[in-house]
């Protein structure tokens, strides 16, 4: 049984490239089914977050299969020859080690952030629902999640924000005073709510958008005002700061929307992938704009002792995977 993975992340590709490989949940399911139908493929899992897209494939006689090329083809990317070098291709133990590092937050833009555990779980769940995860990838993802939980429980890490949203606001607050500023937050998902929490601590006056048609319970952070999503354009004129973090496939704020108003927000922060805020907004005089790539900090030299401890945990779980694999080989079990 061979395991092959392809990874595209914030280290290798700018946001305009990454968003070409950003998929909705429905599209992820379609891609998984297409890959599972490829000859020799036994299992496939697709991990897609705002900072990375990673495809894991297992099967027999798939050594010549290129998962990066598969992603390019299934994404309708024509200039694949230019993009292929941006992918990291890994085999077998290298793929397992990388996934465990990802789950533990060692490969995250915000080192040790714990949202990635949920995202890895979600990727495995979708593959399970689509019946594209085999026993090899099931075990690999289960052990990776367990390793991440063990690392989080046993190793206390301080002074590192737990999410990219909190990190972005913390970084901006070093040069921008949010106290009494009128902030419009577009998107009431987890990232939007985390931004509101941090901004409330900084004394901001926050208004958050809600979509009328959204089903289920709507959580509004205590202390925040609300408007409908459709009112966002009108509300620009009375906002100092705009932060957008939605899963929309289209821009939530365009340059035309901003230029219509005489009074404009002075700061735009885009925490979405694909991007929510049209890049051209940064060219408007008096306006400053940030996206996810602006908040990348190299934490590789920080918390060195903690990194070593986490890698020791990872090596222990890799040994567990190898024992499981060897047992199956000796027992003559087939993959399913």
> Any known ligand binding at 322?
no
User: 43 is written with which tokens?
Assistant: 């299992």
> Any known ligand binding at 94?
no
> Any known ligand binding at 107?
no
Give catalytic status of residue 177 as yes or no: no
The CA distance from 228 to 251, in Å, is 16
32 near 48, Cβ under 8 Å?
A: no
Residues 6+ apart with CB under 8 A from 129: 29
HSE toward the beta carbon, residue 285, CA cutoff 13 A: 1
> Any known ligand binding at 313?
no
Residues 6+ apart with CB under 8 A from 13: 83, 86
Distance of CA 79 to the CA centre of its chain: 24
> Any known ligand binding at 113?
yes
The CA distance from 220 to 198, in Å, is 14
> Any known ligand binding at 192?
yes
- DSSP labels, 245-293: ----SS-SB-HHHHHT-SS--SEEEE--SS-SB-GGGGGSTT-EEE-GG
> Any known ligand binding at 180?
no
> Any known ligand binding at 335?
no
The answer to whether the bond into 274 is cis (omega within 30° of 0) is: yes
> Any known ligand binding at 49?
yes
Q: Which of 279, 280, 287, 228 is nearest to 261 (CA)?
A: 287
> Any known ligand binding at 43?
no
> Any known ligand binding at 95?
no
> Any known ligand binding at 282?
no
> Any known ligand binding at 225?
no
> Any known ligand binding at 162?
no
> Any known ligand binding at 177?
no
Angle between helices 190-201 and 164-172 in degrees, nearest 10: 30
The CA distance from 17 to 333, in Å, is 41
Catalytic residue among 50, 104, 196, 224: 50
Measured from the Cβ of residue 267, the count of other Cβ atoms closer than 10 Å reads 18
Enumerate the active-site residues: 50
Binding residues for substrate: 49-52, 108, 113-115, 119
Binding residues for NADP(+): 187-192
Binding residues: 49-52, 108, 113-115, 119, 187-192
């Amino acid at each position: 049984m061979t395991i092959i993975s392809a990874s595209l992340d914030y280290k290798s590709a700018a946001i305009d490239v990454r968003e070409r490989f950003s998929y909705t949940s429905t599209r992820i399911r379609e891609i998984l089914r297409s890959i599972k139908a490829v000859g020799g493929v036994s299992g496939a899992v697709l991990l897609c977050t705002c900072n990375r897209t990673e495809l894991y494939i297992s099967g027999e006689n798939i050594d010549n299969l290129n998962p990066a090329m598969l992603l390019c083809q299934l994404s309708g990317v024509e200039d694949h020859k230019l993009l292929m070098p941006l992918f990291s291709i890994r085999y077998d133990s290298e793929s397992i080690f990388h996934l465990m590092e990802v789950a533990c937050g060692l490969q995250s833009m915000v080192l040790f952030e714990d949202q990635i555990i949920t995202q890895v779980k979600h990727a495995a769940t979708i593959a399970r629902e689509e019946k594209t995860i085999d026993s090899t990838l099931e075990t690999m993802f289960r052990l990776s999640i367990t390793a991440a939980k063990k690392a989080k429980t046993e190793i206390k890490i301080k002074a590192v924000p737990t999410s990219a949203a909190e990190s972005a606001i913390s970084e901006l607050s070093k040069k921008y005073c949010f106290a009494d500023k009128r902030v419009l937050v577009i998107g009431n998902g987890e990232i939007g709510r985390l931004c509101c929490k941090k901004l409330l601590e900084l004394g901001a006056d926050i208004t958050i958008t809600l979509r009328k048609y959204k089903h289920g319970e709507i959580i509004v952070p205590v202390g925040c005002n609300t408007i409908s999503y459709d009112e966002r354009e009108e509300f620009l004129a009375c906002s100092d700061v705009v932060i957008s973090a939605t899963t929309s496939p289209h821009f939530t704020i365009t340059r035309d929307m901003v230029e219509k108003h005489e009074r404009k927000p002075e700061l735009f922060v885009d925490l979405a992938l694909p991007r929510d805020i049209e890049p051209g907004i940064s060219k408007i005089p008096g306006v400053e704009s940030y996206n996810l790539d602006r908040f990348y900090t190299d934490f590789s030299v920080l918390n060195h002792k903690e990194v070593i401890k986490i890698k020791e945990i990872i090596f222990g779980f890799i040994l567990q995977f190898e024992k499981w694999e060897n047992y199956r080989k000796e027992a003559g079990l087939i993959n399913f």
